[in-house]
Amino acid sequence: MKVLKIKERKRPIISVIVPTYHEEKYIEPTLIAISNQTLKRNKYEIIISDANSKDKTIEIAKKYADKIVITNKRGIALGRNLGAKYAKGKYLVFIDADTIILPQTLEKIIKEFKDCDCIIPRALPINSSIFLLFVYFFYNLSLSIFFKLNFYQAAGYFIAVKKTAFRKIGGFNVNLVSCEDLDFINRVSKIGKVKLINLPVITSTRRYEKEGKIKLTLKYILFFLLFQLFGIAKSYKPVR
């Protein structure tokens, strides 16, 4: 493992961690969105946690990141944990490499952290087909209902958490092949407050495009139920 230190942010409030592996097609819009925040740039750092990509991911990341952590081991949970290991911020924001955040996102979550330990946003699809708009409407509705019932769920495309809470639960479970985000949010909810905010993030639909919209929607529902009811984590096909 090696760490490339590109620019030192002395006292960042937030550490934005982006796990990557062969993301040259998607990573730049994500990093541009993270870089163009209303929050002053010296108040947050960008950390890329890369699983030794052989494409141009790291080359692109160097234009925007403050640190790049490179490891030969793969795994989304591992990537997030390694990024957090080198984070200086009080708050950790985990963003997938194909997710776009709005300009005011980081500034807003700092305010939201005043009364909670973990923040989950709503989601919008980057592909605005009628079917996907319906799927995301249902997903956001289910988030609202579940949170009111103290039955928390989360998707790894964006999770913000206080570093103290992250360390207290030991980070993401690297032994899970999927649903590490659900496992994480369930454990955080037992030691702190989890909050759902109205500010959305824009998520990639590339898995829908590869596997098929109806098939993947049913798979998501099935995998969610299997994990929540029986603790069974099923793996997804790679999309890269």
DSSP string across 83-97: HHHT--SSEEEEE-T
| pLDDT average per 10 residues of sequence, the chain (240 residues) | 93 97 96 98 98 97 98 95 98 97 97 96 89 91 90 90 98 92 95 95 87 82 82 73
Which of 39, 49, 30 minimizes the C-alpha distance to 101? 30
Dist. CA 81–CA 5, nearest whole Å: 18
Q: What is the pTM of this model?
A: 0.94
Q: What pLDDT, on a 0 to 100 scale, did the predictor assign at position 1? A: 87
Q: What pLDDT, on a 0 to 100 scale, did the predictor assign at position 239? A: 64
Q: What pLDDT, on a 0 to 100 scale, did the predictor assign at position 7? A: 94
Q: What pLDDT, on a 0 to 100 scale, did the predictor assign at position 223? A: 82
Q: Quick one: CATH architecture of 2-120+154-198?
A: Alpha-Beta Complex (3.90)
What H or E segment, with its residue span, contains residue 59?
helix 57-61
> Any residues with CB less than 8 A from the CB of 28 and at least 6 apart, and which?
60, 64
Terminal-to-terminal C-alpha distance of the chain:
22
Q: Which residue has the tokens 């019932």?
A: 149
How many other C-beta atoms are found inside a 10 Å radius of the C-beta of residue 8?
10
Q: Is residue 166 packed enough to be buried (19+ CB in 10 Å), middle (13-18) or exposed (0-12)? A: buried
In the sheet with 100-101, reading across from the earlier edge strand, the strands are 2-5, 67-70, 44-50, 14-20, 91-95, 158-162, 118-125, 194-203, 100-101
Q: What pLDDT, on a 0 to 100 scale, did the predictor assign at position 178? A: 87
Q: What pLDDT, on a 0 to 100 scale, did the predictor assign at position 205? A: 86
* All structural domains of the chain with their residue ranges: 2-120+154-198
